[in-house]
């Protein structure tokens, strides 16, 4: 009822409690996913639909909604996987088959533009590096770059192609409180004014966008999900990659960052 009346946040909380009280029922999880999607919490919506599917793999609505949420996050490969599974269960649907073909094309484009699997030399000329980072010396084969606020490393495989990227902030709290001066882009504040992103959001968005080969709006949605408690530290499977948090405790103060690596089990 709350969802139908437009109170999506209240509905999401009620449905979370309903799901806890009904551990074998997929419906509260599916409905909660719809409420979360209305709130713009795309990653949490995809997670809720996955929980519904774990209980009922034949749930058509949950699989369709999960495909839509994954596409909105930038995981066209995952969305295509869900849509193919849906078609296998419900039979031929020309409109869905056309959408599936489009998703598969988009997934191939993302894999092509992604820094993962690319020649390691490409990293130095990518927007994540040229806007803020400079090359520093490090033991080969690792490529290391330094910005005033973070370290970036690229680890190539035996063939010289990138298999892992790591972005590690000096202080995540400090970067969240500082205005970005490197990457550009704006967001809307509580008064409706356009303001620059903070340093962390700007750098992490560009890192995810170019690391995964997706556009910036979807990278920001994915980053929003990564920062929720429900996401955890990862790693999460995302298209052709695995993504998660890095915690470095080797220095006096704990440092946080993100990694992207090839999903060799996918």
> pLDDT tens for residues 109-141?
999 999 999 999 999 999 999 999 999 877 778
Lowest mean pLDDT among 184-188, 195-199, 229-233: 184-188
Length of the chain, please?
266
Token pair belonging to 164: 């892992």
Taking the C-alpha atoms of residue 179 and residue 183, their distance in angstroms, rounded to an integer, is 10
Architecture of domain 8-113: Alpha Horseshoe (1.25)
Question: Quick one: pLDDT band at residue 251, thresholds 50, 70, 90?
Answer: confident
User: How many Cα neighbours within 13 Å face the side chain of 51?
Assistant: 24
Enter the pTM of the model: 0.90
Within a 10 A sphere around the Cβ of 76, how many other Cβ atoms?
25
Q: Average pLDDT of 94-114?
A: 95
Task: Give the residue carrying structure tokens 């990293």.
Answer: 123
Percent of the chain residues past pLDDT 90, beyond the cut: 74
| 3-class DSSP state of 178 | coil
Cα–Cα nearest to 175, from 195, 147, 194: 147
> pLDDT tens for residues 206-215?
999 999 999 9
Where does the chain have alpha helices with state H? 8-21, 27-38, 42-55, 60-73, 76-90, 94-113, 127-130, 172-177, 199-212, 216-226
> pLDDT tens for residues 13-45?
889 889 888 889 999 999 999 999 989 999 999
Q: Where in the chain is the domain with CATH 1.25.40.10?
A: 8-113
Cα–Cα nearest to 15, from 175, 109, 138, 4: 4
Q: What are the residues facing 262 on neighbouring strands? A: 241
């Amino acid at each position: 009822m709350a969802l139908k009346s437009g109170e999506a946040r209240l509905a999401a909380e009620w449905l979370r409690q309903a799901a806890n009280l009904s551990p074998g029922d997929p419906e509260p999880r599916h409905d909660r996913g719809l409420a979360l999607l209305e709130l713009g919490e795309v990653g949490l919506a995809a997670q809720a639909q996955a929980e519904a599917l774990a209980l009922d793999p034949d749930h058509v609505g949950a699989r369709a909604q999960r495909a839509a949420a994954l596409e909105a996050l930038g995981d066209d490969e995952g969305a295509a996987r869900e849509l193919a599974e849906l078609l296998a269960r419900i039979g031929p649907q020309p409109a869905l088959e056309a959408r599936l073909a489009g998703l598969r094309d988009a997934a191939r484009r993302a894999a092509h533009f992604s820094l993962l699997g690319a020649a390691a030399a490409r990293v130095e000329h990518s927007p994540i590096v040229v806007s803020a980072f400079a090359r520093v010396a490090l033991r080969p084969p690792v490529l290391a770059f330094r910005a005033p606020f973070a370290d970036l490393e690229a680890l190539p495989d035996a063939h010289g192609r990138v298999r892992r990227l790591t972005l590690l902030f000096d202080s995540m709290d400090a970067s969240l409180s500082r205005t970005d001066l490197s990457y550009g882009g704006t967001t809307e504040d509580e008064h409706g004014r356009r303001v620059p992103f903070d340093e962390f959001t700007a750098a992490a968005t560009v890192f995810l966008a170019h690391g995964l080969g997706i556009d910036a709006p979807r990278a920001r949605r994915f980053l929003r999900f990564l920062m929720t408690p429900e996401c955890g530290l990862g790693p999460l499977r995302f298209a052709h990659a695995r993504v998660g948090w890095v915690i470095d405790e080797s220095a006096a103060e704990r440092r946080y960052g993100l990694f992207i690596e090839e999903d060799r089990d996918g």
